[in-house]
Structure 1
Amino acid sequence: MNTWVDIKVYPNKLDPSVMEMCKCELGLTLHDWLTTNVPDYFESDEPLFTVIVNSKILVPENWKTYQFSQNDDVSIIVEPKDPATIAYAVIAIIAVGYAVYTASQIPDNYNSTTPDGSSIYNVNAQGNKPKLMGIIPEGAGRHLIYPDYLTMPRREYIDNEQWLYLMLCVGVGDYEILPEEIFIADTPVSRYTGDVDYQIFRPSENVTSHEAYRNVFTSSEVGSTSGSTGIELKGAVTSSGGNNSTYFYTFINDTLVVYVAEYEPEIGPIRYKTVPPFDVGEILTITGSIEGQNDGYYELLAKSSNGSQVNKVDSQFQDDPTWTEFVTEYDSSAAVDAEERGGDGQFNGPFFACPDGELTDKLWLDFYLPKGLGELDDDGNFLSRSVTVRIEYRAEGAQNWTALPDQVFSNSTNDQLGKTIPFTLPLLMRPEIRVKRVTAASDDTRIYDDVFWTALKAELQSATSYDGLTTIAVKIRGTNALAGSAENKFKVIGTRILPVYENGVWSSPRPTRDIAPFFAHVIRSSGHSDSKIGLQALQTLHPVWHNRNDEFNAVFDSESTMFEVLKRVLAVGFAEPTIDYGQVTPVRDQKRTIYRHMYQPDNYVGMLKRSMKLIDDDEPDGVEVEYFDPVTWKSETILCLLPGDLGLNPEKVRAFGITSRDKAYQFGMRKRRIRRYRRTRFDFKTEMDALNSRYLDFCALADDIPGYEQSGTVVGYEGRSIYVDHIGLEWQNGQSHILALRKPDGTLSGPYNATQGNANNEVIIDADLDFTPVLDGSIEPPLYMFGIKERWCNGVLIRDIKPSSTEQVSVTAELDDDRVYLDDDSLAPAA
């Protein structure tokens, strides 16, 4: 059995298709329901709506006595105030939420950069990255920053340890970065004693005091930037052959003689002359020749059998048909002709050390010995061993090679070894580099001498300072603890350093998280002078924000307009940017008690239009705010609800610039309360009067609905007695009354407490006027508004002012409600 009755509300009598369904508990009277659920309800001799119960009008005299029963059919119909215009309902059901304007909403998406950068707002994209042709990030307040590469990372071996060099851009401007707020991944660098060396450079400071400043190009042809791959430098091999045989080589004069040794069970070892499956042009490794004097690398020119040479045809080698089988070693007609290519290893390269169009005179070559260097003797002792490497270079287009001094690696260890060899060339060039191993190699398992060429690096033109940027140079030892995260997970927490406008002057720059300094900085950095900033308003609001701990902590790393950035900056302080007489001025949406201007039917052009948004089934029933947690530096959410909200369909907003849970809650509750309580909008026109008002001015607005205020013109005054043109003002017993006057400049005088005078158009105010009325007809006489204290005007916020011609101004205003501000200082509920 239902415990309520449905009430159908029709806001427009001429359009019965528009209806709002409400519920009322059984046994309540209409007066009880209206008092509980309709904030603006008041008793009036001329009700604004008609109540129909079971097809019969319920007269106002019975609203307090008739109790609703289960089967009642109840309708409330708003009546027209004239034949052509519909008066919209004053009924605003308390459970309904609606926001008239969304201009100051924070966009649902955080910054995005093209090309992709190290946006801290995307967990998957966090990290240090190059941003060629991208936006240089700019921080505000205190925030986590993943600095971007200014030069590509490079590695270098120092005393057999690999070190990583990073030159990074923190962002535009100056920052305070504390030692304990510099991290690799999630570990402070202070934990890596001796493993991390860094230096912070302020804007325009010379950076050459740290070796990481160099802009070094690493060739991709030699090894990757991580140094984990490279080119093996191969030397002469001491033995070779198939699975079941071994080749032996010797020379007869200039002819290479090749033997293959096989084992026949009945006969024993037999040696045959043969031509192994070599190709013409192939490089042969020859060892074990007569007394070893012909060891080395050879290029195969031709091969023959029985004295008949076999040449290359269509990239295939066809054996001479006279070749039938292996012959004994005494048959000297089987031979391979070869030409010596040197007695050491083959050159690797050449490779260009720098890109086309670039020049360099400084090179680095990295070499890596993965098994160490040494030799085990028969007793297990590790003996010293040496390997010689030769490096040659030539300028692009040159024919002759120039050899650098041979590099000799010597050691007796099976620990991994690495070495970076720097060279300075005699002049700038685009060099080609080739490298070979001079020392013969061995496949003896007791010898450890593998050598890899892992990197070829060249210094390009390097910047010595960075105007307007804070940079950080880093040198990191490649220990196991750092190997996986050092290159792209270096991060800092920086606090922006800016001057603050206080007491009419700019202070010295200091670390600050305040809203006002960054607001001014955005305008100044866009090329505008102080004359374009509403400094007086900024100076007034700065202590308000500062004392409330309202901060703006964010990183901008995407393109935007100055005005869009200012919207974001001010939103965290419940404010918006406006253009006022050529100045960009902040205006804060805050509780106000002083009316700035007065508007009433005497200075309207046409009629006042009042509209209200009624309930919508799809409206959100709460606000879910996403903000950045200052400990984890990850996104967190908090749900903001009013009594009666279930939070099943919350509006989702992102509080860009907020890094406090309490502030995120206040931000969300302000939005939720605006949706709930700011539901009424007024549209009207004046002549030029409305140009006096500014955005978000708090003004007194008269309505022409019966039962509200009365308005008109002042016709005379004497001391505190004010005489108006309305004979027979409506004085209500037991109520306090208010009189407000309009000054010649449009501002409001008062409001004054008013009592009834002796004359029927006389009002006595409780204080002297703060201006002198002019009643001689030379200017428009003062206008007035009169009514009871709770209902003498509509307190509205001016939302839009647009001149529609040279003689008229269109105005949009929003009915304010003190309940909007009730959670501005509330603490977030426990998580």
Structure 2
Amino acid sequence: MKPLNATHPLQIYSNVFTSQPDETHAIPHGTLLGEWLTANIPGFDPDNDELTFSLPFDQPVTAPVDCHFVPKKGVVKVLTFGLGSYLLSKMTPKPGGMKTSKRNETQGSEIDLSSASNQAVKYGQPIREAFGRSKIVPDYIVPPRRYFGPDGKTHWIEGLLCVGVGDYDIPASSINVANSPIVGLGGDNYATIYGPGESLAAEPAARWWHTSKEVGPTSTGGSGLALGTVSDATRQAPAGSYLFSGKTITPVSGQTFPTNWETGMYLQIENYRDYQVAGNVLSGDMAGLQVSGGDSVELAGDAIGSRAVTSYTAPTTTNAGTPSVWTAQTAPALSYASEPAQFTVNVGSVTGVVTLNSDYLDEPALIDDINDQLTQTALSGLVSVSAGLMITELPNYAARKITVTGISGAVRVFGSVSQANQNTVIGTARVEAEPAKLTLAGFDYSGSSVRLSINKAGETFVITGVSANLLTVDRVDGLGASTWLGWTTGFTTSSTSLQLDPDTIEGGWVGTFAATPGDELCDRLEFDVFMPQGLIRYDSDGDPHEMPVHVYFRYREGPNDSWKQVSKPFRAQTRDQFGITFSVDLPTPKRVKECQMRRRFAERNKQNIQDKLEWFGLRARMVRKIDTYPDLTTLAFRLDGKSTSAESESQINVIATRKLNGVATRSIGEAVNYIARNTDMDTAAIDALSADWDQRGDYFDFAFNKATTVKAALDTALMAGYAEPTVKSGLISAVRDTKRDPVMLHAYQHTYSAQNTTSEIITQIDMPDQNEVEGLDVEYLDETSWRVETLRCELPGSTGARIEKIECEGITSRTKVYQWGMRQLMSRLLDNVQYSTKTELDARNSEYGDYVNFVQEIPEWSQSAVVESVSGLHVRSTEPLAWVAGEQHVIALQRVDGTMSEVRDATRVDEFTAAIDTPFEMTAIPQETALFFGIKSRFANPAIVRDVRPSGGETSISAIAYSELKYQYDDALPPA
């Protein structure tokens, strides 16, 4: 009797790929097979006739069950309900994306916060496996560690990334952050590649640091968690973007106003903007300021204090101007190799010399060369040449006069230069808009630009209405009266501060947050304190001084344990942002589930003091670590924030070439052999195709980032070489149709005629319709830009009315993509003739992708018969031969293996007999050997097999017609 927990194996076999089970699953004893498959295999289809099970679906499982995969139509297929061999099967978890934020409300410079945004890998997904040459954005293996350097102004990130399964050739110069090579960043930035199995024991970036997600940048744009004060009313509105319009303020990035704000509360509003400085005059956007000479303003930001207003000037608008234009008098010559031309282009007082000493395909090519030469002169960025050899001034327009001075041969380029110079058109100069200007008495700033919040002195903002999503304010004087018109033009900004009058009491604890995940142990804690506005105080004379602050950090394993507290006082004199990373070493590894922090004294909230503190980060270094990854290529890196935060797309990426058999290669054949390395391969066929691919320069450059099957991977790899997988004699093989040598078009190909078919040979022609595609837009990853580009493939004269968009994977060369796309287009246009028939056993000699002949019984076209006799150069048929006056005839025989002999020219001897000029290279058997006869241009129809289907004693075969036109663009160059 079976125990209650007994199971039986379900063994999945694919006869195409292996003689061993591809997968084995355990099914509980007594479970109905169909019920288990439905419950455990997503998308299971009981009607899939390509799967055969050794047990009916409605029977209980009491013994091992076998599932066999039976491919149809001679083509390799895959199991369609989730079982089967996967090419990429190794998974590793990675943390979700981490967001950094910079706040723009400091008086000094901002820290560049480090960010290495890489492709996320969720648990259970496969690791990438790349072939050929690819741009790869590696994935995190362990979470990255971010921390501040000793100078407090550099934010570092270090981590370990996975390039992919296998070994890769990755030059140091091809390891980039966005588009910048890491080797060129200098300093302590570095990136190191570790091959499969190399030790990472001494690599600090390979350590697992767990970062608490609750501590750090906030969803409303804050850099960290404010170490603030305890008060009855919320002192400050959340950070984020706000719309200022009229006398209303509206949150526009998801934040809401504090619920305990009330009408009548006074509000400090600081909008920080950049202004240009010229002496004591500020220029820029001053919407809502509403001041005039004699008023005073309060400044915050890069300058602090009150200043008297000398004058205020409202802004004006911009006049863009018009370009100067010089136009040639005639169309240019295109040949200058034997008779060069040289001329000078003059734009005002700036000149540039152009020399033409080449022959050009057309006028656009000539114009491109002239423009390229102009960019190498002082005229770069001033003018551009366009169709008709029109020289046009580029923005910003300065009303410069454009002329040309001929040196030699200029008349062949432009015609009459003197006439063109007389006709030159002088444009109008751009007149810039004048921003609002504010002149302040006693204002003195050393820079050319300044970041300030400017408010009218003596007037205060007061809340006149408040809800979660709308704040109404007015600006009143000391008596409560208002003449303020509001922010009449309106603007949106995230560089703003909305807060009530400050309270001054001790800061409260922020937290509690866990430092370690699950039951993991750590031996070190790190926490970051960030000063988003710097740390500084000014005396009454405006002189700067150090500002001291003090934070407390405490932690414990759980709520029943006592707190362990550390005190961290520090001081600074800087208005620049900076941060400090503190560490706490644990003598004994612990699980730290609770951490808190607070500041000792409250934030001052005075214009002469900047002491805002934020809890920026919390990390724990795990005791558990992995020192080697046997099957993976990894990348350890350390980068500062200046290298990673400039653009949102800043990603660590590499240009990597896969190594197979120890050698970097882009070979299609090498990739195919690797993908199918655990199967029985038709190596001779793959080697033959590889020689052709290598000779043509066809490569396979592709990274598999998702789980796939061997069949799907082979499809992708072979597509790059115009081939596809198939099965021949039980082996995985590949077929690729290409242009045939006309001499050997018919010879040595299996031939089907009335002599070996059991039914009529049917020709089916799909006639073109109004929806037939005229061209293809091919999307591909370009090897130069490493972006997805689109290339139009169409025939000359195409109207472009019916364009189909397709994707090309594995080909990165624009030229090769064009050739591939044109092959796809020609297939759509020409694969419209199909032949089909039935034989007894003969058709089983043909396989998918084979070249074959069809000889049809068409009067005065082609026919088949049987050889009655062969005497010297005379061949006699058992049936009359259909001679057509004025036509050239040919004759061929069928070999015993079913293939056609060489085709010989035939001349009439009599109705049954033909004379040939050269003997056949085979011996005909009278009354047995088949004979093929007809007009030379159409006696046999070459075709490519698409389906061979045995059924009982008969075999059906179908094929598409061969046309050499299909391959006419296989070596073509794409349009310019």
The range that moved more, 364-373 or 597-606, is 364-373
Deviations 1:474-505 (A, max 9, x none): 211112x6324478522222222224xxxxxx
| Per-residue deviation, 1:133 | 2.5
| Per-residue deviation, 1:462 | 3.4
> Do the aligned residues in 2 keep the contact of 1:662 with 1:828 (CA within 8 Å)?
yes
> Do the aligned residues in 2 keep the contact of 1:627 with 1:658 (CA within 8 Å)?
yes
| Per-residue deviation, 1:433 | 4.3
Instruction: Note the 1:499-514 alignment, pairs <5 A.
Output: 499=661, 509-514=662-667
> Do the aligned residues in 2 keep the contact of 1:592 with 1:698 (CA within 8 Å)?
no
Equivalent position amino acid for 1:748 in 2: M
Equivalent position amino acid for 2:903 in 1: P
Equivalent position amino acid for 1:781 in 2: E
> Do the aligned residues in 2 keep the contact of 1:228 with 1:454 (CA within 8 Å)?
no
SS of the residue corresponding to residue 602 of structure 1 reads: coil
Deviations 1:713-753 (A, max 9, x none): 22333455444322x32344554432222222222222233
Deviations 1:421-466 (A, max 9, x none): 2233233332144455585557395666554332111133433233
Instruction: Note the 1:360-399 alignment, pairs <5 A.
Output: 360-373=522-535, 387-396=549-558, 398-399=560-561
1:800 to 947, 950, 974: 947
For the residues of structure 1 that align with 2:914 and 2:902, how far apart are their CA atoms?
A: 13
**Is 2:962 aligned against 1:816?**
yes
Equivalent position amino acid for 1:188 in 2: P
1:663 to 792, 816, 837: 816
For the residues of structure 2 that align with 1:130 and 1:225, how far apart are their CA atoms?
A: 23
Instruction: Note the 1:594-743 alignment, pairs <5 A.
Output: 594=744, 595=746, 596-726=749-879, 728-743=880-895
Equivalent position amino acid for 2:727 in 1: I
Counterpart for residue 635 of structure 2: 472
Distance 1:383 1:677, change over 3 A: closer
Deviations 1:221-261 (A, max 9, x none): 33249995334446999xx9x9xxxxxxxxxxxxxxxxxxx
**Is 2:604 aligned against 1:443?**
yes
For the residues of structure 2 that align with 1:513 and 1:763, how far apart are their CA atoms?
A: 54
| Per-residue deviation, 1:667 | 1.8
SS of the residue corresponding to residue 463 of structure 1 reads: coil
1:155 to 146, 154, 159: 146
| Per-residue deviation, 1:605 | 0.8
Which stretches in structure 1 are left out of the alignment for 5+ residues? Answer: 1-100, 105-112, 120-125, 243-342, 500-508
2:210 to 211, 217, 235: 217
Counterpart for residue 248 of structure 1: none
Instruction: Note the 1:15-30 alignment, pairs <5 A.
Output: none
Counterpart for residue 747 of structure 1: 899
Counterpart for residue 471 of structure 2: none
Equivalent position amino acid for 1:402 in 2: K
Equivalent position amino acid for 2:931 in 1: Y
For the residues of structure 2 that align with 1:622 and 1:417, how far apart are their CA atoms?
A: 57
Distance 1:745 1:117, change over 3 A: farther
The range that moved more, 457-466 or 693-702, is 457-466
Counterpart for residue 179 of structure 1: 172
SS of the residue corresponding to residue 687 of structure 2 reads: helix
Distance 1:825 1:140, change over 3 A: same
Distance 1:169 1:770, change over 3 A: same
> Do the aligned residues in 1 keep the contact of 2:118 with 2:140 (CA within 8 Å)?
no
Deviations 1:276-316 (A, max 9, x none): xxxxxxxxxxxxxxxxxxxxxxxxxxxxxxxxxxxxxxxxx
Equivalent position amino acid for 1:401 in 2: W
Instruction: Note the 1:320-339 alignment, pairs <5 A.
Output: none
**Is 2:294 aligned against 1:146?**
no
For the residues of structure 2 that align with 1:453 and 1:643, how far apart are their CA atoms?
A: 65
Equivalent position amino acid for 1:747 in 2: T
Distance 1:116 1:162, change over 3 A: closer
Distance 1:148 1:721, change over 3 A: same
> Do the aligned residues in 2 keep the contact of 1:117 with 1:134 (CA within 8 Å)?
no
Structure-1-length-normalised TM-score: 0.64
Equivalent position amino acid for 1:813 in 2: A
For the residues of structure 2 that align with 1:535 and 1:118, how far apart are their CA atoms?
A: 43
- Taking only aligned residues, the RMSD between alpha carbons, in angstroms, comes to 3.6
> Do the aligned residues in 2 keep the contact of 1:151 with 1:168 (CA within 8 Å)?
yes
Distance 1:425 1:487, change over 3 A: farther
Distance 1:469 1:610, change over 3 A: same
For the residues of structure 2 that align with 1:118 and 1:610, how far apart are their CA atoms?
A: 58
For the residues of structure 1 that align with 2:954 and 2:675, how far apart are their CA atoms?
A: 35
Equivalent position amino acid for 2:904 in 1: Y
**Is 2:740 aligned against 1:592?**
yes
Instruction: Note the 1:256-275 alignment, pairs <5 A.
Output: none
> Do the aligned residues in 2 keep the contact of 1:131 with 1:149 (CA within 8 Å)?
no
SS of the residue corresponding to residue 431 of structure 1 reads: coil
Determine which structure has more spread, i.e. the larger CA radius of gyration.
1
Deviations 1:18-67 (A, max 9, x none): xxxxxxxxxxxxxxxxxxxxxxxxxxxxxxxxxxxxxxxxxxxxxxxxxx
The range that moved more, 417-426 or 682-691, is 417-426
Counterpart for residue 658 of structure 2: 496
| Per-residue deviation, 1:788 | 2.7
Deviations 1:136-172 (A, max 9, x none): 2222222222222223333111111210123222223
The range that moved more, 510-519 or 414-423, is 414-423
1:129 to 120, 135, 150: 120
Equivalent position amino acid for 1:551 in 2: Y
Deviations 1:165-186 (A, max 9, x none): 2322222322222333333223
For the residues of structure 1 that align with 2:689 and 2:596, how far apart are their CA atoms?
A: 69
Equivalent position amino acid for 2:967 in 1: Y
Equivalent position amino acid for 1:797 in 2: I
SS of the residue corresponding to residue 684 of structure 1 reads: strand
Percentage identity across aligned positions? 33
Distance 1:232 1:613, change over 3 A: closer
Instruction: Note the 1:559-570 alignment, pairs <5 A.
Output: 559-570=707-718
Which stretches in structure 2 are left out of the alignment for 5+ residues? Answer: 1-72, 77-88, 98-116, 236-504
> Do the aligned residues in 2 keep the contact of 1:153 with 1:487 (CA within 8 Å)?
no
> Do the aligned residues in 2 keep the contact of 1:441 with 1:449 (CA within 8 Å)?
no
SS of the residue corresponding to residue 457 of structure 1 reads: strand
For the residues of structure 1 that align with 2:95 and 2:834, how far apart are their CA atoms?
A: 43
Counterpart for residue 409 of structure 1: 570
Equivalent position amino acid for 2:224 in 1: G
Equivalent position amino acid for 1:744 in 2: V
Equivalent position amino acid for 2:951 in 1: S
Distance 1:738 1:367, change over 3 A: same
Distance 1:408 1:815, change over 3 A: same
Counterpart for residue 457 of structure 1: 619
For the residues of structure 2 that align with 1:157 and 1:209, how far apart are their CA atoms?
A: 22
Structure-2-length-normalised TM-score: 0.55
1:188 to 181, 187, 191: 181
For the residues of structure 2 that align with 1:453 and 1:135, how far apart are their CA atoms?
A: 36
Equivalent position amino acid for 2:882 in 1: E
> Do the aligned residues in 1 keep the contact of 2:644 with 2:651 (CA within 8 Å)?
no
Distance 1:674 1:350, change over 3 A: closer
Counterpart for residue 358 of structure 1: 520
| Per-residue deviation, 1:370 | 3.8
2:590 to 413, 429, 432: 429
Counterpart for residue 935 of structure 2: 788
| Per-residue deviation, 1:598 | 1.4
